[in-house]
Amino acid sequence: MVKDLREYFQTLEAAGSNDVLRVSRPVDPRGFDVAAILQQLENRGDRRVVRFEKTLDLEGRPTDFSLVYNLFLTRELCAQAIGHPRGAVKMPLSLEFARRGEEHREPEVMDPSRAPVKEVVLSGEAVNMTTVPMFRYHEQDIGQYLTMLAVMKDPDDGFYDISFCKNMYLSPRRLTVSLQRKLSKHLLTILEKNEERGRPTPVAFILGHHPALSLGASALTTFGNDDYGTLGSFLGQPLRLTPSTSLGDDFLVPADAEMIIEGVIPPHAAEIQNPFGEFSRYYQPQVAVPYMEVTAVTHRRKAVIQGVFPGHADHFNLGSLAKEGGIYSEIKRVYRGVQAVYLPHSGVGRYTCYVSIKKRREADAKLVGMVPHLHVHHMQFVVVVDEDVDVFNEEDVIWAVVTRARLHQDINVLKGMPRADRVVIDATVPLDEPFPRKAQVPRQAVESCKLEEWLG
Amino acid sequence: MPVREDIFWVTCPRCGEKFYCDNQLRHSSIKLMCPKCRHRFLDSDSPEIRE
């Protein structure tokens, strides 16, 4: 069966699970309906996927589109999305992400006449982005945004690069494209290659697809990787592609997406974007970013638009899970004793990394602690602990820091790095001096204890 | 700190809303936009700048 967002919902609901909450009253993008509902659910500890079945557009008119949020709210949901057991969501899940990130499945190309995403095709003057529901989430957000996957094609080598991007509504056929010039990113490299040649940059945005695609788009890949192949690996089957409507037959887009927004970014185009409450849980500053002229919108009938609640657990997992696996693989290349890697929500799934190792030499932790900084540009704090510490248990990690790190030599500040200093904390037991032994209840006593019998 | 940004604070000359911008927009010819009233203005027109 072809995997797409609709097939995913069927799987989720067929299991008889209580994973999906449906909201049937229409939500209005001119207010904060969606964010307020998601915030209330979070406050209650409700961790379900939310389907907003009725929406209004930017002019307050009813639409045929529905919305889905919280697809990545828990590690269990992320496991289900890639077909991994929901009962093994700590390191086995990270390792599965690492494995998928290194695999490649060649996509299949299908004729547009059979592509579900071409059920409705709007191009040129027929495009009107006010008919698409897009939302504000935080009080000072400057406008309505879409949060989605951007696809660009390298003009030299023809590979596709895919990354998360947000778009702010500017006018019926113009959206911002959230690429900041001062941050080095793959999509920006492609944009700048085209600009050097005085050419516009074709871009397509994927708005709704199987959640494995979004998880795969977070994988740590090098520039030059054909990301459609990586998405196929996460999907567990070749991704079906089809020629774009307005960017030429040789620009391919996912055939089973809910909606594709196609456009071109004129060379050196710049428009204001932000404030926008981002993953850091702070407002991103106002900044000049490129904008796109929307050339076509194609979608399924009754398309389901996928959103992310910025700066909340949904957003954190989306940024962290694939990176945990990627960091694990990178450490493994240089250090066989790595045991587990976790990017906690307290570090918004990006800034902080906990790594456990089977330490053999005194310098191991400090060397291993450098690796996450080399591969994740947001990374700020890396804490390396011994294998007896559960990196997925933050209390355990902090306990190791306060009892094992020698403050004068184990907190290493890497000064003069881009944007901010970086930190590596070695919270492992020192091998070069006497150190107390961790107190433990005898394992055999714990394992043989039948608690039910004691509690009656 | 990780969230430290190279920013300056401005005040909207029309409604008084305070917000911050990336330093790339300081002394730029690109007009800022107030997130509250959507007024477009140059940073030099802000009644107060904190940087």
Look at A288 and B24 and tell me if their CB atoms are within 8 Å: yes
A253 vs A240: CA distance, rounded Å: 8
Q: Is B30 on the interface with A (CB under 8 A)?
A: yes
Q: Is B24 on the interface with A (CB under 8 A)?
A: yes
Kindly report each contact of residues A386-389 with a partner whose C-beta sits within 8 Å and lies 24 or more positions away, as own/partner.
Answer: A386/A356, A386/A357, A386/A358, A386/A359, A386/A428, A386/A429, A387/A339, A387/A356, A387/A357, A387/A358, A388/A438, A389/A356, A389/A427
What is the structure's pLDDT at A59?
94
Look at A275 and B5 and tell me if their CB atoms are within 8 Å: no
A340 vs A324: CA distance, rounded Å: 9
Which of A169, A287, A381 to mutate to probe the B interface, most B CBs <10 Å?
Answer: A287
Neighbour-count burial for A384-406, b at 16+ CB within 10 Å, e otherwise: bbbeebbbbebeebeebbeebbe
Provide, for chain B, the percentages of residues in helix, strand and coil under a 3-state DSSP scheme, each rounded to the nearest 5. Answer: 10, 30, 55
A226 vs A106: CA distance, rounded Å: 9
Would you kindly state where each structural domain of chain B is located, as residue ranges?
7-50
Which two three-digit tokens encode residue B22? 């990336």
Kindly state the average pLDDT of the residues B14-32: 94
What is the structure's pLDDT at A48?
92
What is the structure's pLDDT at A376?
85
Q: Is the dihedral of CA A49, A52, A58, A63 positive or negative?
A: positive
Contact (Cβ atoms closer than 8 angstroms) between residue A169 and residue A135: no
Q: What pTM did the predictor assign?
A: 0.90
Q: Is A270 on the interface with B (CB under 8 A)?
A: yes
A178: three-class secondary structure by DSSP: coil
Measure in Å the smallest separation between the Cα of B47 and chain A Cα atoms. Answer: 18
Q: Is B20 on the interface with A (CB under 8 A)?
A: yes
Contact (Cβ atoms closer than 8 angstroms) between residue A377 and residue A319: no
Which two three-digit tokens encode residue A104? 């490649």
Residues of chain A in contact with residue B36, where contact means CB-CB under 8 angstroms, are: 140
ipTM: 0.95
Residue A8 corresponds to which amino acid?
Y
Residues of chain A in contact with residue B35, where contact means CB-CB under 8 angstroms, are: 140-142, 275, 286
Contact (Cβ atoms closer than 8 angstroms) between residue A220 and residue A330: yes
pLDDT at A432 over 80: yes
Q: What is the pLDDT of residues A83-120, one digit of tens each?
A: 998 888 898 998 898 889 889 999 999 999 999 999 99
Which A-chain residues 115-144 have CB contacts (< 8 A) with chain B?
140-142
Residues of chain B in contact with residue A270, where contact means CB-CB under 8 angstroms, are: 30
CA distances A239 to A92, A101, A305, B16, Å, are 25, 15, 19, 50
What is the structure's pLDDT at A16?
64
Look at A275 and B19 and tell me if their CB atoms are within 8 Å: yes
CA distances B33 to A30, A289, B45, Å, are 18, 13, 12
A83 vs A181: CA distance, rounded Å: 37
Query: For residue A200, how many other CB atoms are within 10 A of its CB?
Result: 16
**Which residue in A248, A247, A329, A326 sits closest to A294, CA to CA?**
A247
pLDDT at A418 over 80: no
User: For the residues of A148-159, what is the DSSP string, one character each?
Assistant: EEEEEE-TTT--
A176 vs A178: CA distance, rounded Å: 6
pLDDT at B3 over 60: no
A451: three-class secondary structure by DSSP: helix
Q: Could you say which DSSP state residue A351 is in?
A: T
More confident residue, A451 or A418: A451
A188 vs A290: CA distance, rounded Å: 10
Measure in Å the smallest separation between the Cα of A272 and chain B Cα atoms. Answer: 7
Which A-chain residues 375-434 have CB contacts (< 8 A) with chain B?
378, 380, 419-420
Measure in Å the smallest separation between the Cα of B25 and chain A Cα atoms. Answer: 7
What is the structure's pLDDT at A185?
78
A42 vs A358: CA distance, rounded Å: 37
A58 vs A198: CA distance, rounded Å: 34
What is the structure's pLDDT at A140?
93
Q: Closest residue of B to A352, CA-based?
A: B2
Measure in Å the smallest separation between the Cα of B17 and chain A Cα atoms. Answer: 10
